[in-house]
Chain A
Amino acid sequence: MLRKDYLSNFLLPRDAAPHFPAPVPAAEEPEASAISSAFNAFTETLKAHSEPRPSPLLRRVTLVLILLVAGTALLSAANIPALLGGFSIQILKPWAWAPFQILVATFILFILEAILIFAVILQNRRDKQLETLLRESEERMSSAAECANLGFWRWEAETDRIWASPHCLRMFGVYSEKRLTMKKMVEMVHPDDRPSVERTINEALLNHAVYEVEYRLCLRDGAVRWVRTRGRGTLDTDGHLVTLSGTVIDVTESKQMQAVVEEQQRSLAHLARVGMVGELSGALAHELNQPLTAILSNAQAARRMIEHGPLDVTELRNVISDIIDDDARAGNVIRHLRALLKKDEARTEVVDINGVVSRTLELTRSALTAQRVVIVTRFSHEPLRVRGDSVQLQQLLLNLVLNAAEAMAGVSRDSGALIVTTNSVNGEILQISICDTGPGVPEGIKSRLFDPFFSTKQNGLGLGLSICRAIAERHGGRIQAVNNPGHGATFHVSLPLAKEQVL
């Protein structure tokens, strides 16, 4: 019962069942069992080695000492009659060897002892060699584990004792495993990561599976390290947790590398956005000029109304409210622009895709109408929300719309059409389709279309579509291009819909 309480204190949410079903050996994953048996063998070796046991040296020294005492006693026994006056020797041994009697006995004894001491020394050396071999093997193993940045640990529920490899201890920033308890280990997990760690481990325990989870470790000196831990628990027949063991690997550096790569991708995407805004500058100037023109003319009209003649207050109110509306319109254009130009951390929020599509078409409307391109939107009636960064998603769409416009500009058709469709597939996937009436994608280049630095344009960098793909993939989605049956191409972007449809 104690074990169960312990677990539910540190690992289980309060409402989760603390009683795990009994293990089903047949369900064991082969990889998992291999790992755990290798791990167990390793821990057993180390354990056996570190346990206190009677030293063979001590045993042998004791033996030699006993022999010495016995020898001396023998010698003394041989000597006693001589000491008493040599009577008995004369009675026993009347011949001439009698004077050498002690010498011979001492010599024999000496030889025997020498042999014994030699044997002890030899045995000792062999033991030492074995010990060295074992230590070397252990060192190799732990240095291999250390090189792999891998630490081992094992927790026994009954005693709440943790055994951990030295590297593992170092990773946790402690010097002795005696101080390490499960409570302390849990406390070192970053508070933000704790729920997910607990959830993952509990799920794995319920399924008798191996868990793997990444989390931040807050060390006592204030440092934060990223670690990935992989492990599994063993349960007794009643389903109580007996041990929990696993490996832990420090992934801080790869996390940092990943952050650097992400930062570079963000910079690239930002540069591409700036370039796109440059391309759009004419259209954007127009988008800004329209409301500004209306504002100025309305303001001048209002001044005339005040200066000349009877003042029509209702009309003046209309004029002012029009000015306010147009100001909001200009402000919106600027806000969209700033969002595109800003170099921001990628944010994860729930984004309404129909809104993003509308904003994108607002920004490109003048550019498209100048080309006599008719814009048709077919929005899904239900709200389509995805989790992601709205600026990046807008960049993705903007890029595709501008690409379509450019494709249609090269065609000497009277006017083009851009059809933007949004719909959900099975309520799980969101699909955005951007269909143009351009020349379509030549079959030969279709496979390279989304590759970086691949461009069919004379001055193209070949980054636009590769950034589109990167953005789609970062949002767990994908992008593909297909040619339409008639003319033109359609780009499909699929993204996973956000689970929480209701905000």
Chain B
Amino acid sequence: MSMRQDIKPRVFVVDDDHSILTAMSRLLGLAGYDVETYASPDDFLARHDPHAPGCALLDVGLGEVDGLTLQNALSEREPERPIIFLTGCDDVRTGIRAMKAGAIDYLTKPVQEAALLAAIEKAMEADRVSRRARDESAQVVHRLEQLTPREREVMAHVVRGRLNKQIANDLGIVEKTVKVHRARVMEKLGVRSVAALVQSVLRLDAASGNG
């Protein structure tokens, strides 16, 4: 949550125009961001650190090729990077495609400072949210890995809402043992109630796409 407050969020600027890269890194640096510049999409894909928090500011290029291709390449990667497009040509079709593919915003050059910074802040917030969600599910996964096979079985039954007695019957063990397993599951996963347990397992489900 606030563990990375000391690290400045980073903006990855991709544009083939040297003077735009210079100007952008000046402006965004003064606005309190860490800025990394790349002269081409290929350069960006090759060099940038996908785990560093932040967002990408991409030049769509003229033929709607470069920026959108890069967007596709980025969306296939883990973790996903929020993207703001900055374009020289105000082309509605390209804009719609970019937004549908999940872009945070689609801005036209020359861009006003306020609009740019607002879009970047929005992208940073999206990055923070997705990063936090990813962190939490990673934690849950990590904790689940610490459960014994028997504890996992018990947990699966608990989440489905079955009573201790039914679980003991299903697994062929005594109810007291079920209670012990259950307590250790709650302890290892760091939850205090059955409701919290269900919630974190569901969130994990949602994050990984299936059970």
A interface residues with partner B (beta carbon < 8 Å)? 282-283, 285-286, 289-298, 300-301, 304-305, 308, 315, 319, 322, 325-326, 329, 366-367, 369-372
Contacts and interface: CB of A to CB of B under 8 A. Distances in A.
Given A285-B89, A289-B88, A370 B20 contact: no
| Closest 5 pairs between A and B when the two form their complex, measured CB to CB | A370-B63, A297-B23, A370-B62, A286-B88, A301-B26
B20 A290 contact: yes
Interface string B182-197: 0000000000000000
B3 interface: no
Contact of B27 (A304, A325, A326): A304
A294 B62 contact: no
B65 interface: yes
Looking at B61, B63, B65, the one whose CB has the most chain A CB atoms below 10 A away is B63
Contacts of B110: 289, 292-293, 295-297
Given A301-B26, A370-B62, 10 more contacts: A289-B89, A290-B19, A290-B88, A292-B109, A293-B20, A305-B30, A369-B16, A370-B61, A370-B63, A370-B65
Interface of B: 16-17, 19-20, 22-24, 26-27, 30-31, 61-63, 65, 86, 88-89, 109-113
Given A289-B110, A367-B62, A294 B88 contact: no
B89 A282 contact: yes
A294 B30 contact: no
A285 B88 contact: yes
Contacts of A322: 19, 22-23
Nearest to A409: B63
Contacts of A329: 19
B22 A294 contact: yes
A297 B89 contact: no
Looking at A300, A366, A367, the one whose CB has the most chain B CB atoms below 10 A away is A300
Nearest to A282: B89
Contact of A282 (B20, B22, B30, B62): B62
30 contacts: A282-B89, A283-B62, A285-B89, A290-B19, A290-B109, A292-B109, A293-B20, A293-B23, A293-B86, A294-B17, A294-B22, A295-B23, A296-B110, A297-B23, A297-B27, A297-B113, A298-B22, A298-B23, A298-B27, A300-B113, A322-B19, A322-B22, A325-B19, A326-B19, A367-B62, A369-B61, A369-B62, A370-B62, A370-B63, A371-B63
Contacts of B16: 369
A292 B113 CA distance: 13
Contacts of A325: 19
A282 B89 CA distance: 7
Contacts of B65: 370, 372
Contact of A294 (B23, B61, B112): B23
Contacts of B17: 290, 294
Contacts of B113: 296-297, 300
Looking at A282, A285, A297, the one whose CB has the most chain B CB atoms below 10 A away is A297
Contact of B23 (A301, A308, A366, A367): A301
Contacts of B24: 297
A366 B62 contact: yes
A372 B69 CA distance: 13
Contacts of A295: 23, 110
Looking at A289, A296, A308, A371, the one whose CB has the most chain B CB atoms below 10 A away is A289
B109 A289 contact: yes
Contact of B30 (A292, A293, A308): A308
Given A285-B88, A289-B88, A372-B65, A296 B31 contact: no
Contacts of B89: 282, 285-286, 289
A319 B22 CA distance: 9
Nearest to A367: B62
Contacts of A294: 17, 19-20, 22-23
Contacts of A326: 19
B121 to A, nearest CB: 16
Contacts of B19: 290-291, 294, 322, 325-326, 329
B30 A297 contact: no
Contact of A304 (B30, B86, B88): B30
Contact of B111 (A293, A305, A315, A371): A293
A291 B111 CA distance: 12
Nearest to B91: A282
Contacts of A285: 88-89
B17 to A, nearest CB: 5
A367 B16 CA distance: 14
A290 B59 CA distance: 10
Looking at A290, A319, A371, the one whose CB has the most chain B CB atoms below 10 A away is A290
Looking at B16, B26, B65, the one whose CB has the most chain A CB atoms below 10 A away is B26
Contacts of A300: 27, 113
A499 to B, nearest CB: 41
A35 B60 CA distance: 74
Contacts of B112: 296
Contacts of B62: 282-283, 286, 366-367, 369-370
B70 to A, nearest CB: 14
Nearest to B63: A370
A293 B111 CA distance: 7
Nearest to B111: A293
A308 to B, nearest CB: 7
